Each structure stands twice: as C-alpha cells, then as structure tokens.
Structure 1
C-alpha cells in the first residue's frame, strides 16, 4: 500500500500501474464543508480491471441546528464507505456492460469515470461526508421541545368497546403560544 497525506488527484492510468491500493491518510478541514474537528481517517482506491474500488473510514465533529428547538448541538459524523466506480473507455462502453445488465455487478456500478480522467480524493470525501449528514437533526432526549412534540395520538380503550383519543400533553407547544401572542398583538 502506498500512503499519502496530500489529497492530490491521481490519474486512472497511474492507478492502474500500482500493484497495491493507493491510500491517503486524512487529517484536514475541507474548504466547502464546515466541521469543528478536522476530518480524520483514511481513503484507499484500488484499480480493478474495468473499475476502481474506493474504501474509507472517516470521522469528524460537526455542529448542527436542531429541527425541533433550533439550538446548536454537536454531532459526531462517521463515513465508513465502500464504492465501486466503473471506468469508461470507448471500447468497453457497450460490449462488457451490456453483458453485465442482468448481473448484480451492474447495480453496484452507480458512478463512472473516464479512463483518461483523475480520481479526486478530496472531492470524493466531500461528497460522501455530505451523504452521511443526518436528514432529521434532533439534539436528543434533553431537547426542550422533545416532550412537546407528539407525532401520534395515544389511544385508550374504555369498556373494551370503543377506543378514545386522549391528549397526552395538556400544555400547548410554547412556539404556538408565542405565535398566538404575536397574532393577538398585531392582527386586528
């Protein structure tokens, strides 16, 4: 394995000449990705016959805004990924991949690079770390809004015949109280 600390792009042709995977030791901040800690870990890329396989184990600490209470909180982000990327050439664009259409291999080859292009580890890291960002951002059980948000009403059964919906929380959401106060003060 050839290790490198600089995240310089490498040509596909150069990767082909290596007998072992190319490995980058990662400890950096990315210009277009805000994190509290540098992204640390490693990325390796290995040339296979008509594809490359990229593997990574990365982690960092980021600051997110809670979707419920709008408070900032820290979140540890992990990116442990393995991706198979097709190498496209003029010769193999149709022949080999038409034969693979029925196989499971084709489903794994979501991305492709031209054989005359470069693999850019910094861009790859940026894309995959962003894919690991949580869709729902909640600061946890201690969130001030955690107890005020109810997604499904609880149902109790009385006399074992008809279910009745009951309010779990009698107190209103404090955000609604603020909105009602504003509405009362500013609307005629």
Structure 2
C-alpha cells in the first residue's frame, strides 16, 4: 500500500490474507533521527503459528564521532527475513530440559500474542537500530581527540598540576 504510514495490524486480519500484506515504506520512523525518510518495503505473511516478515529499509543518520566529537553521516541499510512465533512459547520436551549450567535458548524466539498486533514500524525500527555502530568513528581521516595544549611540547595543560609531583 503506497503512501500509507506503517500502523499496527491485528494478527487476525493478517491470518485472512492469503498473500499476506505488503507495505511501501517512505516515512520517518519514531526513535530514529534520520536525515532522510526511511525507504524500502516490507511484507508480512501469516503462516499458522508463525508470522513470516521480509523487509528492506534504508536511511541516513547523523552520528557523533566518539574520538573527535565531529558529526558525520552514516548510511543504514537493513535487509532481513524473520519468523515470529504466534502464541504461547513452544513447549520444551521434558527429556531436553536444560541441565544446570547449560544454556536455555527457549526464550530467544520473539513471540506475538495471537490476539495482538504486528507493528511494522517497530519491526523496521528494530532492524535499523541493530545496525547502528557500537563505537561511532567518522573514518580513517579522523583528526582524533582535540587537545588543550597551546605550547609546542605536546603536553596537555590540564595535566600541569601533576608536573609538580615529579621527583
């Protein structure tokens, strides 16, 4: 549906659509301060006890470099396919119960309430947000941290009080 903002859709409505639901994305996404609207496409198809979601989205965000504190533009491009469990958590057979100290990954699959909604805007937000860098670095030409030193010996004047402690 072209031009329509992404809004939550009841899963019961998606269940009745044989071909699923398709969205063209061309809008801002709440929670992502982007320079350009997020553009892409998204398709959700109800397949019984799972919701298959396939989507692509891209935008440009402005980040602050953690080294030099300058702002820079960073492209985000997400392309993902995901199966979301609809209903109660999948039962774990008693013979495969996690032993003490073993990892239990039964809570790793995202679950949707069958009486609830699928929120396509939130799904796009999650996909793009996961692509944001942990450490923001403007690139190989980063000038590095600014210094306060005005003298030519390269000693930061903020540390001058420690100079008196030298033997």
Pairwise same-fold verdict (TM > 0.5): yes
Question: Which residues of 2 match residues 74-85 of structure 1 at below 5 A?
Answer: 74-85=73-84
TM-score by length of 2: 0.77
The Cα shift of 1:123 comes to: 1.4
Corresponding position of 2:125? 126
Q: Which one of 143, 150, 157 corresponds to residue 181 of structure 1?
A: 157
Corresponding position of 1:137? 136
Q: Which one of 92, 106, 116 corresponds to residue 98 of structure 1?
A: 92
Higher relative contact order, structure no. (Cα contacts within 8 Å, ≥ 6 residues apart): 2
Distance, in Å, in 2 between the alignment partners of 1:20 and 1:13 is 14
Change (3 A) 1:186 1:27: farther
Question: Which residues of 2 match residues 101-112 of structure 1 at below 5 A?
Answer: 110-112=109-111
The Cα shift of 1:83 comes to: 1.2
- Equivalent pairs counted in the alignment come to 150
The Cα offsets for residues 51-101 of structure 1, whole Å up to 9 and x where unpaired, read as 001111100000011122111100110111111100005xxx56xx436x9
The Cα shift of 1:32 comes to: 2.2
Task: Classify the secondary structure of the residue corresponding to 1:98.
Answer: coil
The Cα shift of 1:22 comes to: 0.7
**2:54 paired with 1:29:** no
Q: For structure 1, which runs of at least 5 residues remain unmatched after alignment?
A: 146-172
The Cα shift of 1:183 comes to: 2.7
Structure 1 runs (4+) deviating above 4 angstroms are: 176-179, 185-188
The Cα shift of 1:186 comes to: 9.7
The Cα shift of 1:31 comes to: 3.1
The Cα offsets for residues 115-151 of structure 1, whole Å up to 9 and x where unpaired, read as 0000011111122211111112111111112xxxxxx
The Cα shift of 1:6 comes to: 2.4
Distance, in Å, in 1 between the alignment partners of 2:146 and 2:26 is 43
The Cα shift of 1:180 comes to: 2.7
The Cα shift of 1:175 comes to: 3.7
Distance, in Å, in 2 between the alignment partners of 1:37 and 1:174 is 30
The Cα offsets for residues 152-171 of structure 1, whole Å up to 9 and x where unpaired, read as xxxxxxxxxxxxxxxxxxxx
Q: For structure 2, which runs of at least 5 residues remain unmatched after alignment?
A: 97-104
Corresponding position of 1:57? 56
